[in-house]
Amino acid sequence: MSTMNYKKYAPYPTVGLKDRTWPDKTITKAPIWCSVDLRDGNQALPIPMSVDEKVEFFRLLVSVGFKEIEVGFPSASATEFAFVRKLIENNLIPDDVSIQVLTQSREHLIRRTFEAIKGAKNAIVHLYNSTSRQQRDIVFRMSREEIITIAVAGTRLVRELKEASGNPGIRFEYSPESFTGTELEYALDVCHAVMDEWGASATNKVILNLPSTVELSTPNVYADRIEWFCRHIKNRDAVLLSVHAHNDRGTAVATSELAVMAGADRIEGALFGNGERCGNMDIIIMALNLMTQGVDPELDFSNLPHIKQVYSRCTRMTVHPRHPYSGDLVYTAFSGSHQDAISKGMKAHQRAADGVWDVPYLPIDPEDVGCNYEAIVRINSQSGKGGIAYVLEKEYGIQIPKWMQPDFGAVVQEVTDRTGEELSAEQIHELFQKEYIGATEPYLMKKCTISWSDEDPDRNDEVATIVSASMVGPQGEFSFRAKGNGPLDAFVRGMVSHTGIDFHVDEYAEHAIGHSSDAMAIAYIRLSFDDVALVCGSGIDSNISLASIKAIVSALNRYKKA
């Protein structure tokens, strides 16, 4: 039995658009973008931005590439008015950028708005009044006709003030606020009345913004409403159809994407989804979603860390660590299988001839948005051997062979299980050094020399290599001189003879760390003992033969420790 009082809610009405076409559409071009960070985003902040903070944020938006920026509600406060005037009087608005200002459909507010934009080369006056059934019946207690009268009167005044200004750079936008709560036929009637009053035409377009002021349905229903509207609006070429989605149901990005598929020309939204209640549609997410499909987003988000810094400084808001594309953890994998897949995918991408990004678990290349690979794999108790190996290779050039990865993975796992904490790359490296390179008990090699018993040291088909070693063991110091078919074989023979431990080399690998002439060599070894134990070791030296011998000592020490 459900304890939730779900019966008090009614389902949102569907459109009944049987021949809808938007599901078969794809987005092949970026829409017209309009940032509402400085208006809708700002009015949602616990502490609104100061004039100087808004200027800094405006400059950020310009640098990203926005050509339409809603800068405020200048008739609402002295701060808002002063900010718009500062932009204009200090020539901070590029010639190809239109500032957008919001006003209710009230005479004194519209007049004050025109005072604010005086001298602006390009400006959009955004007029709105609420048209929804709830607002008409509960808030205003007005009829449909009275609401239309408000919209038309405001439009008339905007047209008259534009004509009086003599500024052809002033454009007009109208929003039937709470479009999602407005009957479709009635919303169309309101917009037609506004278009008639404005004199909308192909050369004098009106922006009709159909906002999801409150998100009330699944995105497909909103898309149906947009397609229906596009079909029924008269003089479609006289209209730029805009949408402004809020995120009350958590689907604002999907709502906006489907709206574009359904015919919308323009998208309003905010960086990181800032805005009233659950926020606005996140333009960063939608733009980068387009990019991952091979579509030019026509906005530059190649330095997300810088954008986040400015955003947080100006708004005093933080970006969630799991925020798509932008969060601190979105290019990070803790799961072992994910880590292994990412590591292999990165290497495959480096070898790929076509350059097309195709890496598991990463829909976008972090470098394309100003991030890097260093933080992609993070190690905790959920991590696997592949991810641990990836960290050491990426950060320190240590390429642990696959047969040794489970051994070191168990070492790391013991620490993360015991502490419950994440390990940094530096801590993982320290663990490797301590477990393998720094193992000095019970065996310590004090001195080791390699020589050959004939004139051809490269021969390996006979016992011709001599290893002389001075060692410290459980019983004290000892020395030996042993022959083998190579340094490894000779050292193993000497240690078996003098310690009584029966073992042989089961696996071996080596490589240089770095590419310079003074690069160090690292060797990895796995020894098999007569009690069927398999133990790994590693050694580092400027001489690869000595690195190999050190790896044997490392494995012997780990065997005795076990």
Annotated binding-site members for Mg(2+): 40, 244, 246, 280
- Tell me the torsion sign for CA atoms 534, 537, 543, 544: positive
H or E segment to which residue 189 belongs: helix 184-198
The whole-angstrom separation of Cα 215 and Cα 244 is 10
For 406, residues 6+ apart whose C-beta sits below 8 A from its C-beta are 385
Contact assessment for residue 195 and residue 147, using Cβ atoms and an 8 Å cutoff: no
The whole-angstrom separation of Cα 487 and Cα 419 is 41
Distances (CA, A) of 333 to 218, 255, 330, 374, 378: 31, 29, 8, 11, 6
For 14, residues 6+ apart whose C-beta sits below 8 A from its C-beta are 221, 224
Distances (CA, A) of 399 to 337, 436, 537: 18, 14, 14
523, β-bridge pairs: 510, 539
Contact assessment for residue 255 and residue 219, using Cβ atoms and an 8 Å cutoff: yes
- Tell me how far the alpha carbon of residue 448 is from its chain's centroid: 52
Radius of gyration of the CA atoms of the chain, in A:
35
The whole-angstrom separation of Cα 425 and Cα 187 is 58
Strand order in 465-473's β-sheet? Answer: 444-452, 465-473, 476-484
Q: Report the C-alpha dihedral over residues 106, 108, 109, 111, rounded to 10 degrees.
A: 120
Strand ranges for 368-500 from DSSP E: 444-452, 465-473, 476-484
H or E segment to which residue 171 belongs: strand 170-177
Q: Locate 211 and state its tokens.
A: 């906002």
With tokens 């090699």, the residue in question is: 445
Phi, psi of 21 (to 5 degrees): -115, -15
> Residue ranges for the binding site?
40, 244, 246, 280
Contact assessment for residue 389 and residue 400, using Cβ atoms and an 8 Å cutoff: yes
Strand ranges for 17-117 from DSSP E: 32-35, 68-72, 98-104
For 78, residues 6+ apart whose C-beta sits below 8 A from its C-beta are none
Distances (CA, A) of 470 to 94, 440, 449, 486, 554: 77, 14, 9, 18, 16
The whole-angstrom separation of Cα 277 and Cα 68 is 24
